[in-house]
Structure formats: structure tokens, C-alpha cells
Structure 1
Amino acid sequence: MKLYKLLSFCFLIATLTSCTFTENITINENGTGNFSVDIDGSSLMQMAGDQIGSQMGADAKKDIDSTFSFKQMFEQKKDSIAKLSPETQQELKKLENFTIKTKMSSEKKEFLMTMAMDFKNVNELQDILQSASTLQKLEGGNAPSPVGAGFGGNNSKLSYKYDGKKFSRKAIIDQQKLAEKAKDSADMSKMIFASSNYIIKYHFPKKIKKVSNPNALFSDDRKSITIQYSFTDYMENPEKLNFEVEFEK
């Protein structure tokens, strides 16, 4: 299965109901780290894996265990990318370092996808999920993608900051985009993601003194936190996912 066909198929599954999205950030002592988003659609496969395989053809019925990069895919789609605006091409370039790992089995009722990249500084992550929404434009806006139904496209600008003393995750609503979004589109996204969850798992090199979100769960060594939200909150109230972490001296 070609890279773009595989990615489109996996994104199509991710747009369907009952998925869990997990946003992971690991920060090392020197400020470098790893960012990833895990998409677990296994519950959907358990409910409708056979039907999905039938609808998507013979390739979808085969077990998939694949790893590739957006850079590889963009090389395959270079002619299409060349026709896009310079601004869109620049947004796509931000995604080049992402590696995509996919495991899917109709027999085992399993669907797991991870989008991951290393970073030198958390500043590289500004609006990274919003940039992912440009993937739709590779096929004239018709590419199946979770970003098209809301993932990375929740009308907000997301920023991360880390200085060794504090860490913050802040989404600011883009009022202009919010006004442009059609009501029926919002209702559709709400229906699609009604039973999905968005989980944040962050790992730091220092012990955490306090977190502004009262629902944060700490690891035993107090260097990691986990916060779970409904995907509807991620979509409709992205500011609810804002919080600040303060570290021990």
C-alpha cells in the first residue's frame, strides 16, 4: 500500500468514533525532547473492523505494521505540493520530521497510530497540530484526515513554553476562524468525536511542585503528569486544556 494511501486510510479510521488521542511530550535535562500523538482506534476495530476491511478493499484486510516519515510522503507528492501556495508549503515543511508508525489488524481488532518527532527546543512545537491540518490540501481539500474533522483544527493557536522553572501549555482561540466555521460543521465534529478522549501525558526532567489543573495525576516520582479530557472539550473549549507546571528548585 503506497504511503499516502496508507496514511489516508489510517486517518479515515481516526475520524470515526471511539478513538483515544494521547498527546505526549518528554523534555530532557538540556531542553531537547520528543513530541508525539498516539491515536488508538482499537475499540472501533472491535465493533466494525470486518466491515471497514471490506469497504476499503484487499489491502485494508492485511495486517499492517509500518513506519515512514512525512518527508518520504512529501517526496511522493512533490508535484502536488509545488502547486500549493508558499504559505501552505511552509506549513507542510514543519511536518517533515514527523515519523508515522501504524499497526492495524482486522483479526486482532487493533488500530494504533503514532505521529512522533524529536525537537531541540519546545519552541519548535508552536502550532504543530494546526500545521497538520494543511495535509488536507494535498488532494485539493478532499483527503480523509482526523485534522479535517477537528484534530489540530479546533480554531485555536497552541503554544508551549519551558524555561527550567515553569512549563506552560496555552491555546488561544482564533476568533476569526471561529466565526468562519459553519455551524453544521461544528455539529458534525461534535457527533463524530462525542465518545472520544484526549489525554495529555508530559514527562519532565525535574520534580513537579504544582500544576494549575486540579485533575492532573502525578507519577510516583512526580516528574510526569497525566490529564484526561473529552475530545469535545478539545474541540469546543481548547482553553480548558491550558495549564502551567511549576518545578521544585
Structure 2
Amino acid sequence: MKKIILLISCIAFFTSCNVTESIVFNENGSGQFLITYEMGDAVKAMTQAMGGNTADSEKEKDNKVMDTTIVFADIMETYKDSVAALPKEKQLALEAVKNMFMNMHMNEEEGVMNMGVGLNFNSIEELKDINEKIRNAQSLNSQGDQMDSMKENSPLGNFFGSENNKTGYILTDTGFSRVTEVSVLEGDGDESVEKLFNEEDESNQEFLDYFENAFYNVKLTFPKAVKTISIENVEFSEDRKTVTYKTNWIEYLKNPMLLDVNVEFVDE
């Protein structure tokens, strides 16, 4: 059980590269939500820090390869006695994500480390609290206090974005919308959004340098072809049923609404 919790904690500790938010919709309104963290650079940095100059024979021997899917409901059933012994907040976090799953693909030699947290949903209504569910999944680690301290006292904490952001999704027969709500303590409008991330703050300079090439990607797949979309620089699949777009992670922190979109489907 401890190993599984530690594995889940990696999501929170090493999200340092690119993030992809993917939603696939079926004709009946069901589908799959998946947010994937691509952390190859983090793996390379860890490998170097932990003896990257070792002999090739040793590298081959110690190379860690993993390709697995963890279903939280299965964990809760298989390790129900261990779950019952966890602190109450950990039990609540597991309960909140019991219908979710996690994918992990790692190959240290190739510098690959991808993790995804997903949900197979029956209705788009089940995505209502998806931000909170993702945060619950990220919180499932055995070193929570240390992680919170790291997030609060280092530039890395900014990579997680703001807990004041809430993303909503609307799907109809004629279109789709992705809408972000940003709750701020003071002010409103554009001025308040600008306060979400201050690039002039000295404490953020290291973060700016480290994540200047990081992106937040959105990939949406619909059962109908897309007629119009309210965002520029979009990539379409050949059948126009899948759209992909992105923004720089720092720009996303400054204004999370940059990824919001309105889609109109082709009449069929």
C-alpha cells in the first residue's frame, strides 16, 4: 500500500514539463477525461543527480521500466484494511477519486516518465468537480507536509496553478464550451486575473527560467465534426472531429481563461 501511495505522489512532486488535458466524447455523451504529465526532463535530471555517469552495464542493470494502469476502486478493495488504517483525510481523498484511474509509463534509460490521471464518465455532469478530484489524486502521498512546504516556499509550487481556478464543461447537440472560473480575493476582471502570477516577483524568476518551454495542451475529440472554434492556432484532425491547441504554461498561470473555448458542430 505504501508503494502505491508513493507512486501516486510522483504526480505532485515531478510535474515539471508539459501537461495535456484530453477529453474524448462518445455519441451518447459518455467519454473519458485524462490529464497527462510528461516529465522526461525531470527523469533526466534525477538520473544525473543519482549517478548519471555510471558505467553502461550498471545503467542497464538499474534501468527502471514501468507501464501500468492503477484503478483506484481496485486499490480500495484490494487494500481495504490498509485504507481503513490511513488518516481520515487520506481516506476521504481516496473516496473522492475512487472512480478514477492512473496511467504510468516510465523508462529511465530513454528519459521517459509520463503519468496520467483520468475518469471514464457516463455524463459530462461527472466532470463538474474534476479540478478538485485531480487535486485529491495529487494529495495522495506519504509526505504531504513536505510537499505543501515545497509548493509554498519554492518556484516549483507555481507549476500547480491556482486552487482558485475551476474548469467547467458544457456539451450540447450543437456545440461544446470549456469555461474557467477564477475566484480572487480582491478586485475583479482583467486586473484581478493579472494578479494570479506576478512575473516581476523575484521569487518567481527561477520558475520563469525553468518553465519557459512548458506548455498546457488541450485535446478534444467529438462525435461530430467541428464547424467553428473560438480560438486561433488550432490543429484539426483530418475528419475535424479532434481539435488540439496549447498555451505556454506561464501565460496560462497569468490568465487560465486563455484555454477556454467555444465549439460549434457541423449540422448532420
TM over 0.5: yes
Superposed, 1:140-155 pairs within 5 Å as 140-143=144-147, 149-151=158-160, 153=162, 155=164
Match of 2:5 in 1: 4
Match of 2:26 in 1: 28
Alpha-carbon spacing, 1:5–1:38, altered in 2? closer, same or farther (3 Å): same
SS at match of 2:86: helix
Match of 2:48 in 1: 51
Q: Deviations over 1:176-213 (max 9, x none)?
A: 39889997776665555332111111000001110011
Contact 1:104 1:112 survives alignment (8 Å): yes
Superposed, 1:111-126 pairs within 5 Å as 111-126=113-128
Q: 1: distance between equivalents of 2:36 and 2:89? A: 31
Contact 2:225 2:240 survives alignment (8 Å): yes
Alpha-carbon spacing, 1:152–1:99, altered in 2? closer, same or farther (3 Å): farther
Q: 2: distance between equivalents of 1:215 and 1:32? A: 28
Q: 2: distance between equivalents of 1:62 and 1:203? A: 33
Q: 2: distance between equivalents of 1:152 and 1:97? A: 24
Matched, 1:236 2:239: no
Match of 1:168 in 2: 177
The amino acid of 1:51's aligned partner reads Q
In the TM superposition, residue 109 of structure 1 has moved relative to its aligned partner by: 1.6
Match of 1:193 in 2: 211
Q: Deviations over 1:56-88 (max 9, x none)?
A: xxxx8522223212345565444334257xxx9
Contact 2:11 2:37 survives alignment (8 Å): no
SS at match of 1:175: coil
Q: 2: distance between equivalents of 1:240 and 1:200? A: 11
Contact 2:168 2:180 survives alignment (8 Å): yes
Contact 2:124 2:170 survives alignment (8 Å): yes
SS at match of 1:38: strand
Q: 2: distance between equivalents of 1:185 and 1:67? A: 37
SS at match of 2:146: coil
Structure 2, unmatched stretches of 5+, are 53-61, 187-191
Match of 1:107 in 2: 109
Q: 2: distance between equivalents of 1:206 and 1:184? A: 47
Match of 2:189 in 1: none
In the TM superposition, residue 22 of structure 1 has moved relative to its aligned partner by: 0.8
Greater mean deviation of Cα atoms: 72-81 or 199-208: 72-81
The amino acid of 2:231's aligned partner reads N
Q: Deviations over 1:80-104 (max 9, x none)?
A: 34257xxx93x65332222111111
Alpha-carbon spacing, 1:80–1:103, altered in 2? closer, same or farther (3 Å): same
In the TM superposition, residue 5 of structure 1 has moved relative to its aligned partner by: 1.4
Q: 2: distance between equivalents of 1:188 and 1:80? A: 36
Contact 2:9 2:139 survives alignment (8 Å): no
Alpha-carbon spacing, 1:180–1:27, altered in 2? closer, same or farther (3 Å): closer
Q: Deviations over 1:128-148 (max 9, x none)?
A: 123322443765443479996
1:65 is aligned, of 52, 55, 67, to 67
TM-score (normalizing by structure 2): 0.74
Structure 1, unmatched stretches of 5+, are none
SS at match of 1:220: coil
CA root-mean-square deviation? 3.5
